[in-house]
């Protein structure tokens, strides 16, 4: 670690104690940020951790919808997002207004939203899901008609796994669509022993080539299996840091070095320190939206507990 980083890490650690703060970090964050985490995980684990933390302050190193979810779950805590520009372009592909219009066209449909959505969209939804529990959430529904927003590719994947027809919003993750099937086929030829593991936000043609389709933390668990010595990884490049750190001696091959989520990289040690010093920027969901959004998030957490 560079001296500059060591100094920042020390200051963050002192201030974290003083504020009674917890640092929650998504698996795609910069390595230096993952290294200061109290907990690193996928969207589901981070929301479960936020829900049960005894801290007064949550420093959320991830993107905006994740901090909002923490605020929905913990209205009495201060939730800090060290850079407010860290959004999720896919979450921004649908608004509450457009979802309301869609609901009018399908008045009897159950609305399922991917956690990668704004609090306002969650407030319009019946239940939420993450990449880790999406199949279980859809299987738990007794519904004739399901609207799924905003990720068409996750929706397509769940529909193929569950056999349930769903009406899909045409959103997508600009980072995961950079992962191309042709490259996976090349890597399979180059590394015939390797397991191919991809995120369900990938294109259906990519998913068709995979040995496993998993959330980011699901990929970390899969990598620990004894039989996995080499793994072709179809997700955002930030996951490579944790995979390599936790599994020295194993080989991890990213499908695309271009699969970068620039928003995830906006959080730096400097910004984490500043957020703790200034207790800002804060993400706070209004009471009115929160009371409507919490039902969808709680229902999802309940299904996950039953997993
Ligand atoms: P996970 O919940 O699998 O970590 O995914 C979050 C995300 O934003 C994927 O692009
Ligand atoms: Fe959103 Fe894609 Fe970035 Fe995940 S990787 S936060 S889905 S833009």
Pairwise CA distance, residues 270 & 229, whole Å = 36
Total residues found in the chain within this entry: 307
Residue 254: pLDDT band (50, 70, 90) is very high
pLDDT at site 250: 98
- Give the global pTM: 0.97
Ligand 2 near 261 CB (within 6 A): yes
Dihedral (CA of 264, 268, 269, 274) sign: negative
Mean pLDDT of 97-122: 97
pLDDT in tens, 93-103: 999 999 999 99
Residue 307: pLDDT band (50, 70, 90) is low
For the chain, give the percent of residues with pLDDT over 70.
99
DSSP, res 55: -
Tokens of 61: 């190193």
pLDDT in tens, 187-231: 999 999 999 999 999 999 999 999 999 999 999 999 999 999 999
Radius of gyration of the chain (CA): 19
14 alpha carbon – ligand 1 mean position (Å): 30
Write out the DSSP string of 74-143. Answer: -TTSEEE-S-TT---TTGGG--HHHHHHHHHHSTTPEEEEESSS-HHHHHT-SEEE-TTTHHHHHHT---
Nearest to 40 by CA among 271, 175, 239: 239
* Contact criterion met (CB below 8 Å) for 198 and 213: yes
* Contact criterion met (CB below 8 Å) for 77 and 52: no
pLDDT at site 4: 74
Pairwise CA distance, residues 121 & 281, whole Å = 22
Q: Which residues form the pocket of ligand 1, taking CB atoms under 6 Å from any ligand atom?
A: 27, 42-43, 116, 130-131, 173, 199, 201, 215-216, 236
Mean pLDDT of 281-292: 98
Cα distances (angstroms) measured from residue 94 to each of 63, 99, 111 = 16, 7, 13
pLDDT in tens, 130-185: 999 999 999 999 999 999 999 999 999 999 999 999 999 999 999 999 999 999 99
């Amino acid at each position: 670690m560079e001296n500059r980083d060591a100094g920042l890490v020390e200051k963050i650690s002192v201030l974290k104690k003083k504020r009674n703060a917890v640092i929650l970090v998504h698996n795609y964050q910069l390595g230096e940020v993952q290294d200061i985490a109290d907990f690193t995980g996928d969207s589901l684990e981070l929301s479960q951790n936020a829900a049960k933390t005894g801290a007064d302050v949550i420093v959320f190193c991830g993107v905006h919808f994740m901090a909002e979810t923490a605020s929905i779950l913990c209205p009495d805590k201060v939730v800090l997002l060290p850079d407010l520009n860290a959004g999720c372009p896919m979450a921004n592909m649908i608004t509450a207004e457009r979802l309301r219009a869609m609901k009018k066209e399908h008045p009897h449909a159950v609305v399922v939203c991917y956690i990668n959505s704004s609090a306002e969209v969650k407030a319009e939804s019946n239940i939420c899901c993450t990449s880790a529990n999406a199949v279980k959430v859809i299987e738990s529904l007794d519904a004739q008609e399901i609207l799924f927003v905003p990720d068409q590719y996750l929706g397509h994947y769940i529909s193929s796994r569950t056999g349930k027809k769903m009406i899909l919003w045409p959103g997508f993750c600009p980072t995961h669509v950079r992962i191309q099937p042709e490259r996976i086929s090349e890597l399979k030829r180059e590394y015939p022993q390797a397991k191919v593991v991809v995120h369900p936000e990938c294109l259906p043609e990519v998913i068709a080539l995979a040995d496993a389709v998993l959330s980011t933390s699901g990929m970390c668990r899969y990598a620990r299996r004894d039989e996995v010595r080499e793994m072709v990884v179809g997700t955002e490049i930030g996951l490579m840091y944790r995979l390599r750190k936790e599994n020295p001696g194993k080989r991890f091959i990213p499908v695309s070095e271009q699969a970068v989520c620039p928003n995830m990289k906006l959080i730096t040690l400097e910004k984490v320190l500043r957020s703790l010093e200034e207790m800002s920027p804060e993400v706070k969901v209004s009471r009115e939206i929160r009371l409507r959004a919490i039902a969808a998030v709680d229902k999802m957490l309940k299904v996950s507990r039953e997993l």
